[in-house]
Structure formats: structure tokens, C-alpha cells
Chains A and B, each alone.
Chain A
């Protein structure tokens, strides 16, 4: 049975959106690579909540790219509001939880290696 879902918009508008998203993704990737190669000192040396500003920039740009891929390419912007929420909220909640637990624990073990009374590098 036919699903023309929610694509009532005409084809030109659809392809225009695709190409503009492609340009955005390309520009953001290029910026990331340039920053990754140059590693400007003021971004590496300055920290915000235990992480260098450069790494914050990388992560924010990555999420920005992820948003465009999921919304435009995977058509979530045309899906029903609750389908979007079921997918995005679930993922974000579980991922934040996982990252919090594992990175905290990793950092704790790092501290043990640094300050514990057992030599591990002999």
C-alpha cells in the first residue's frame, strides 16, 4: 500500500534541502579537520569543565552534524512528533548515563594508577 508519508512538498524543495545540508556537513567537517591539524594553542590550553575548549568545539560540531543527518537525511523532521521523541530521548538519556558512569570510573582508575601504592609501571 502506498506511503507518500509526509512528502507533499515538491521535488525541487526536497533536493534543495538535501544539497544545503550537504554543504553544511562539508563545511563543518572541513572546519573540524583544520582545527584538528592546527590545534590552536589557546583552544587546547584553556579548559572548561575538565575538557579543553577544542574538544568541546569538536563534540558540539559533531552533535550539530548528527542533528542534520538525523533530521534531514533520515527524515525525522517529517515524522510525527512522538516518533521523534521516542527515538531521540531514549538514545540521549541512555548515552548520557553511560558516558557519565564509564568516564567517571575511568578517571577514578587513572587516579589509582597515579596515586595508589601499587606500582604498575615497573
Chain B
């Protein structure tokens, strides 16, 4: 059936519509607008991270001591292996995406479908990996003690190996019990209790002559400074004010609170991009399966979501460098 088309007589002329400035269609151009502005947003985040890191240059955590977990290798020191794996997964899903785009240019519906599916799977695996990384980061492994000055004191043995709080704490009747809903006339949530109180950790620390304190400060050799036993005892007795386990927005056992804040914010914002990318990819995948683009005669939509997907990969390349490597 012929649709009614109003002819203006300007078709093909400058103002006739359907022009493609710089050889890019409207949709593609707008995707580039978006990507550029989003790139500047991420640049702002990463530059702000750099700002805070320069500000606390001497007490910033060392990344491969924080991110050293690998699935099924509990307790094994595996610095950055997992995040490297995540990087490969994301790069590979970028490859399958660009293969889908390439197949789209040749109007091969089957291939586009297959590669889109692989891309979606890669994205889901990446988001899942990031959730695992977050859960490790939030629950922490060793725990630490905070000081009046807001610094973190970590506990090590004579060989400089980290010691977890649970290995040293001596059980004592706690001075404070957690306030629960069934204990009050009305319930107001109190601050949560760490597994071990400060007194228990201090007692355990005093009892074991082998234990030392590792401060957050980075020495000349690029390693964190470990205090002598006397200095450690004094610091533990006079400056310690609390126990930290894992990480949240106001405390973390790794270093300055800003470290965890930026970790959550930047990897979270990136993870949100991956998630929305997966959702958009799924929509496009179904459109491909239903033959929408086959009928339209062009797979340009696949190319446009492809741009977004590669951009997510591009951002990760920078996050990887500035969070985990530098």
C-alpha cells in the first residue's frame, strides 16, 4: 500500500532533509555527541580521583594489596589477576560486538544474532565479576584499626605478612551490645558493631610479641612503613579509637575514606554503563531476531549500540590503568 508522501520539491537539496553532515547519519552523530560528553564526565571523575590521590600521595593504598582475590583461590595472594581477567572479558565482548557490526554491514542476520548473543553474555559476566569484586572489597579480609587522626593501622607479623583481626583478638565481654529491634520500647537503629571490639584487638595485640603495626604511610622504597614493636605498642595504646572491617563510604580498612568512595563511585558508574549497555544490547538483539533491521534494509542500529559498547570498554581501559596499575 502506498503511503501518502508530501513532496516539497526540495528533496536532495541542502534544506531538503536527510542530510548527513560529516558523512554520519543523525543517529550516529548523536551517539558521538553523547559519547563525547560521557567521556568528559568520566574524565572528570578520574581527574578528581587523581586530585585526591595527589592530595593524599603518601597514604594512598597500594592497589595490588587491596585487589588480590581470585575465585576458588581463597587466601592465595593473586594481585590483579582477576581484574586482568575482567579486562579480557570486556575486550573480547567488544570484539564480538564489532564482529556483529561487521556482519550487519553484509546483511548476515544469523551472524549478527550469534555475535550479539556472545556480546550480551560477555557483558553479563563482566557485571557479575564486578559484583564479586565489590563484595570482596566491602567485606574486607584482614580488618584494621582506625586512629584519632583518621588513619588506618594494619597489623602484620614479624615477616611483614598481614594478620587478620580474628587471628589475634582475645574474647572479652563486650562493653557495648548491638541495639536490636526486640530490645527497645521503640526501635532506633544504632551504629553496627564490628566482630571484635577495640579492647579485644588491643589485648590480643599486646599479648603477642610478634605483632607489629603497618601504617598507611608509604616510605622511600614505595612500601608501607612498618613500626617497631615499641612504637607499635604505643600507637595501639594511645591513638587507636576503633576497629574497621571491610569498606563503606565513611570507613575502610585500606586507607583514606576517599579511596573507597572513588572506588564505589567510578567502578559503580562504569558498572552501571555496562549494565545499561547489556539492556540496550538485549533490545537490539531481539530486534535483530525479529528481523526489524532486515526489513529496514540496514543494521545501523547495531552499529550505534556498538559504539556505546566500545565506549564502555574504552572507559574500562582507563579505569583499569588509573585504579589498578598506576
Q: Is the CB of A106 within 8 A of B54?
A: yes
Which of A1, A65, A82, A122 lies in contact with B317, CB distance below 8 A?
A65
Q: Is the CB of B91 within 8 A of A25?
A: yes
The prevalent SS among residues of A at the interface is: helix
Q: Is the CB of B24 within 8 A of A69?
A: no
Which of B22, B92, B94 lies in contact with A79, CB distance below 8 A?
B22
Q: Is the CB of B325 within 8 A of A36?
A: yes
Q: Is the CB of A22 within 8 A of B50?
A: no
Which of A6, A7, A15 lies in contact with B99, CB distance below 8 A?
A15
Known: A22-B92, A22-B95. A55 touches B64 (CB 8 A): no
Q: CB-defined interface of A8-25 with B at 8 Å, one 1/0 digit per residue?
A: 000100110011011001
Interface residues of A in 72-112 (CB under 8 A from B): 72-75, 79-80, 82-83, 86-87, 90-91, 94-95, 98-99, 102-103, 105-107, 109-110
Q: Is the CB of A105 within 8 A of B106?
A: no
Q: Is the CB of A87 within 8 A of B18?
A: no
Closest chain B CB from A42 CB (angstroms):
13
Q: Is the CB of A14 within 8 A of B324?
A: no
Which of A1, A3, A15, A87 lies in contact with B36, CB distance below 8 A?
A87
Q: Is the CB of B24 within 8 A of A79?
A: yes
The prevalent SS among residues of B at the interface is: helix
Q: Is the CB of B99 within 8 A of A18?
A: yes
Chain A, interface size category, equals 35 or more
Q: Is the CB of A79 within 8 A of B23?
A: yes
Q: Is the CB of A11 within 8 A of B106?
A: yes
Q: Is the CB of A66 within 8 A of B317?
A: yes
Interface residues of B in 76-108 (CB under 8 A from A): 79-81, 84, 87-88, 91-92, 94-95, 97-99, 101-102, 105-106
**Which of A2, A3, A58 counts the most chain B CB atoms within 10 A?**
A3
Closest chain A CB from B279 CB (angstroms):
20
Q: Is the CB of A1 within 8 A of B298?
A: yes
Closest chain A CB from B82 CB (angstroms):
11
Write the residues of chain B forming the contact surface with A, with a CB cutoff of 8 angstroms.
18, 22-25, 29, 32, 35-36, 39-40, 43-44, 47-48, 50-58, 64, 79-81, 84, 87-88, 91-92, 94-95, 97-99, 101-102, 105-106, 148-151, 222, 297-298, 300, 303, 306-307, 310-311, 313-314, 317-318, 320-321, 324-326
Write the residues of chain A forming the contact surface with B, with a CB cutoff of 8 angstroms.
1-7, 11, 14-15, 18-19, 21-22, 25-26, 29-30, 32-33, 35-37, 39, 44, 55, 58-59, 61-62, 65-66, 69-70, 72-75, 79-80, 82-83, 86-87, 90-91, 94-95, 98-99, 102-103, 105-107, 109-110, 113, 120-122
